[in-house]
Chains A and B, each alone.
Chain A
Amino acid sequence: MIALALVGHSGELLRALRLMVAQAAPAVPVATAGGTATGSLGTSSPGIEEALRAALRASDGEGVVVLFDLGSAALALEIALEELPDDDRARIAVSDGPLVEGSVRAAVEAAGGASLAQVCAAADAERATAKLPPDWPARPDGRGAAR
């Protein structure tokens, strides 16, 4: 089964997100890398590298979809990926989807036996998925949330 690696600035945030993911898809392996090596808010490329390796092992080599949060997370993730051997990196797909929605969506896809590309595409698609119905009232322009 495809595993998830969740990358972000806060260990607490990712621990909570892991619970949400587990509720949606308890069988999907999840590794997290949140906060710095000394427990502060921030990202750590050595920590991310470790989580990627753990997720690969947990997926039995099938593959890992990565979701991440803002700012330095993408930089640290890029460094971590560069440190992995080519054949490991080939089994990792990074999603550009939103961390919370994308993670839950990806987990549901993974639990259903989807491929690496399918799980990543599902998480990516959350980026373009409107969260509000078009007639939603409390929008700044008063005209609903239509896109």
Chain B
Amino acid sequence: MTEELLVRWLALAGARVAAARERLTDLDAAIGDGDHGINLDRGFRELLRRLETGLLPSDPPAAVLEGAGRALLGTVGGASGALYGRGLQRAGAALLGPGDGDPAPPDERGREEWAAIAFGAAVDAIAALGRASTGEKTMLDALVPARAAFGAAVGAGATLVMATRRAAEAAEAGAEATIPLIAKKGRASYLGERSVGHLDPGAVSSALLLRALADAAAEA
């Protein structure tokens, strides 16, 4: 995973989140507290401001991910900020060696394999922090199949462009599949069975972020 791709991804993700702000907020208003789009948009605006002003480094990749995560942790405000923020930080940490902030030593693994390692670390961190698993109508219903699709594609020798596209497709299918689920986590769980019939806003935003990653990779 290169720093150029990461920076391009974050910029594109910020633009997509801003464009989807009302939609995400409406989805959240149906089963949550109606702030998901507003919160994520606020967080990405601050993230991009830090990137533009150099408060957030634009290389190496581990530092970009750590700084991006920290920006979301500080400014999104809701559970999604804690989860996405920690996920990005852990993805960054996965690119570091066992020492203090040293990059991992170069080895035979290509950038696709490193990306799969970082992706897996992010999803693991989100699942651990949220004490959640698939089927509970959360962002994991998009992220877990996306991670599996990404890993399978990389294992089969796919390029980053192809693997990120597979991940985005799996995330979008996973998000759609949250409609019949009963929410088990967060504010939506207060609704119980009344949460059935609605998309999970977190799964939708996860799919959106991964589609932005695929599109950013395809632009290279």
Contacts and interface: CB of A to CB of B under 8 A. Distances in A.
B23 interface: no
Interface stretch (B76-84, B134-142, B144-152): B76-84
Contacts of A45: 73-74, 82, 85
B130 A75 contact: yes
B81 A72 contact: yes
A35 B81 CA distance: 13
A37 B82 CA distance: 13
Q: Is the interface of B mostly helix, strand, loop or mixed?
A: helix
A76 B82 contact: yes
A43 B81 CA distance: 9
A76 to B, nearest CB: 5
B77 A44 contact: yes
A78 interface: yes
A42 interface: yes
B75 interface: yes
B82 A79 contact: yes
Nearest to B71: A37
Contacts, number: 65
Contacts of A129: none
A71 B35 CA distance: 13
B46 interface: yes
Contacts of B75: 36-38, 40, 42, 44
B73 A44 contact: yes
A75 B39 contact: no
Interface string A47-90: 10000000000000000000000011001101100000000000
Given A38-B46, A43-B82, A71-B186, A79 B76 contact: no
Contacts of A41: 77
Interface in A87-114: none
B78 A72 contact: yes
Nearest to B80: A72
Contacts of B165: none
Interface in A122-138: none
A40 B129 contact: no
Contacts of A44: 73-75, 77
B86 interface: yes
Nearest to B130: A75
A35 B39 CA distance: 12
A111 B82 CA distance: 33
Interface string B8-50: 0000000000000000000000000100000100100010000
A38 B46 CA distance: 8
A35 B75 CA distance: 9
Contacts of B130: 75
Nearest to A71: B79
A91 B78 CA distance: 27
B21 to A, nearest CB: 14
A75 B74 contact: no
Among A35, A43, A76: residue with most chain B CB under 10 A: A76
25 contacts: A36-B77, A38-B42, A40-B77, A42-B39, A42-B75, A42-B76, A42-B81, A43-B77, A43-B81, A44-B74, A44-B77, A45-B74, A45-B82, A46-B74, A71-B33, A71-B79, A72-B77, A72-B79, A72-B81, A72-B82, A75-B129, A76-B73, A79-B82, A79-B85, A79-B86
Given A43-B78, A71-B187, A72-B82, 8 more contacts: A36-B74, A37-B75, A42-B78, A45-B85, A75-B83, A75-B129, A78-B129, A79-B129
